Amino acid sequence: MKRDEFAHTLEQALLRPDVDRRSVEEACAAAVRDHLGALVVLPCYVRIAAPLLAGSGVKPVSVVGFPLGATLSEVKAREARLLFDQGAEELDMVLHLPWFFSGEYDAVREDIAGVVQEARGHVVKVILETSLLDEGGIVKACQLARDAGASFVKTSTGFGGGGATEEAVGLMRRTLGNRMGIKASGGIRTLDQALSLLEAGADRLGTSGAMDLLAQWDQRFRG
């Protein structure tokens, strides 16, 4: 894998509540400079990020029902449509965890499908919060996301008390084969972690430290 190929797997996340407009503008410039795959911003910043990233190859991405997934389905669908209209190219939505843990699987599937319908062909990733699920739960959540028409499943919000693991990513890949993409996110701070997750089956990596990972890449392979 070349540096640009690695960089393109990285989706830099700016999802903390204390992120200000200047930070978003600076992150857009850095993402373009380093040829990242995407920049994931809070919904209120899509209007700012989208024009700054236009034509750069870096996708403006935002989140729906974040971080708990417990938003009303109608609100999730409306939020998705507004964000796509404002320039988001992909959305990461959170699985409706309360319904999932209640065994209301049809409602969970319909919740995802409502966002997928509003996406109109754009990529929708479903965040499973794998640290809260056992193996059977991960398999079931992957199946629901697949059946609802989502493009990707994603491990974690980064706010749920756990992050991506090779074991979870491997199970997701075995469950889905090559029918969906997998985004590993949460707690990815070292190059070794990143490469191990890609080897386990991840296609993309969500991280708040993309530039640090690239610096580690440069130190190891260019030093």
Count Cα neighbours of 169 within 13 Å in the Cβ-side half-sphere.
25
Q: Which of 59, 76, 125, 183 is catalytic?
A: 183
Classified as helix, coil or strand, 136 is: helix
Give the domain ranges of the chain: 3-124+188-221
Question: Is the model's pLDDT at 218 over the cut of 70?
Answer: yes
From its phi and psi, is residue 61 left (phi > 0), alpha (psi between -120 and 50) or beta? beta
Q: Which of 59, 92, 111, 125 is catalytic?
A: 92
Count Cα neighbours of 182 within 13 Å in the Cβ-side half-sphere.
28
Residue 183 annotated among the catalytic residues of the structure = yes
Distance CA 119, CA 60 (A): 14
Residue 59 annotated among the catalytic residues of the structure = no
Answer whether 0.75 is exceeded by the pTM.
yes
Residue 76 annotated among the catalytic residues of the structure = no
pLDDT digits (tens, 9 = 90+) for 14-43: 999 999 999 999 999 999 999 999 999 999
Q: Which of 76, 125, 140, 154 is catalytic?
A: 154
| Residues contacting 151, CB < 8 A, separation 6+ | 123, 124, 125, 180, 181
pLDDT digits (tens, 9 = 90+) for 161-213: 889 999 999 999 999 999 999 999 999 999 999 999 999 999 999 999 999 99
Class of domain 3-124+188-221: alpha beta
